[in-house]
Amino acid sequence: MGLLDKIEGIQRNVVLSDFTTFHMGGPADYFYELTDVMKFPEAVEACRGDGLPYFLLAWGSNVLFSDKGFRGLVIRNLARNCQAGAPVEASGEPGKEGYRPAGQLIEADSGTLLSQVIQTALKNGLTGMEKLMGIPGTIGGAVRGNAGAFGLEIQSLFEKALVYSPGEDRVKEVDRTAMNFTYRHSSLKENRDILLKIALRLIPGDSAAATEEVRQIMTYRAGRHPQGYSAGSFFKNPSRNSIGEGQSAGQLIEACGFKGEKVGGAYISDKHANFLMNDGTATMLDVMELYTRIQEAVWKKFGLRLEREVLLVGEHEYIADIFRAE
């Protein structure tokens, strides 16, 4: 009997397909749902002690699990406390880069859904994150990937976070400078730190106008995004200094004629070419075949290597993204 078996609530052989928006995934050997972020260290340390890989899952809107499953522990974050916090003073010099106006914190467990954070903010008369409404997933997932929409990235609201560092086995507070935010990137993609609690800086404002903006954004998204199983944009948009400058990944893929292209149960949406979809029967092999075809075609036509945005996790000969216990 290993250390993991001693943790209350650990489940065995849990099929993962219902826990991601792509709805693909075989069984995880071990599965653990937590509602208290302070339970992360115990689970991670047990994996390290047992020599098993672990993977932190939130809402699963940026992850594809292999249909062969995961030979380790999947920890699903269901910790969702969220409330308005203390007022914060302005920092930096007005008009200069990095200036942040006075505001108020909104504090959330990392498993809180982004939509819940926005609603809580609006109820407390705090505005500034409306443009992020409609991005599926948790505030933890959004901060890790510096999620953004309509010109707003979560980094501009980020104030501080409580993180657990498995390497150091300690909980510490980090500020914005430690996060190294860039486009769809933060330092958490380089280290193995786990966000436990997050504080965003918002501004007291007109809740009624902000609520109307949220409504408009939701209508826009409903009309533009394909319905069905997907993980959102499969590829990142090319960086500003690359050859495909000015063109989104979706436009490049569409120009290569991939709209509607199908391999097994995986297909490219005919509404949005950067959405790789699952008809309910996709395997990781189907996804990899389609993904590789797209990368090769865009490379041939534009001399540009599209970078994947979604994470591929689990047992499969192609997969290299999984987190491993050290």
- Is 115 a binder of ligand FAD (CB under 6 A)? no
- Is 17 a binder of ligand FAD (CB under 6 A)? no
d(CA 314, CA 326): 17
- Is 138 a binder of ligand FAD (CB under 6 A)? yes
Q: Is 184 a catalytic residue?
A: yes
d(CA 294, CA 235): 10
Q: Is 107 a catalytic residue?
A: no
* Footprint on residues 169-228 left by ligand FAD (CB under 6 A): 188, 194-195, 225
Q: Of 47, 56, 252, 319, which lies in the binding site for ligand FAD, with binding defined by CB under 6 A? A: 56
Q: Which stretch binds ligand FAD (CB under 6 A): 41-49, 53-61, 92-100, 174-182?
A: 53-61
- Is 128 a binder of ligand FAD (CB under 6 A)? no
d(CA 169, CA 35): 20
Tokens 């510096």: give the residue. Answer: 146
Phi-psi region of 309 (alpha: psi -120 to 50; beta: other; left: phi over 0): alpha
Q: Can you name the residues that pair with 91 across neighbouring β-strands? A: 100
Nearer to ligand FAD, 60 or 314 (CB): 60
Q: Is 233 a catalytic residue?
A: yes
- Is 24 a binder of ligand FAD (CB under 6 A)? no
Q: Are 135 and 147 in contact (CB under 8 A)?
A: yes
d(CA 89, CA 289): 52
- Among residues 201, 233, 261, 269, the one annotated as catalytic is 233
- Is 61 a binder of ligand FAD (CB under 6 A)? yes
Sheet holding 275-278, edge to edge: 229-233, 275-278, 266-268, 262-263
- Is 110 a binder of ligand FAD (CB under 6 A)? yes
Q: Which residue is nearest to ligand FAD (CB)?
A: 141
Residues noted as catalytic: 184, 233, 309
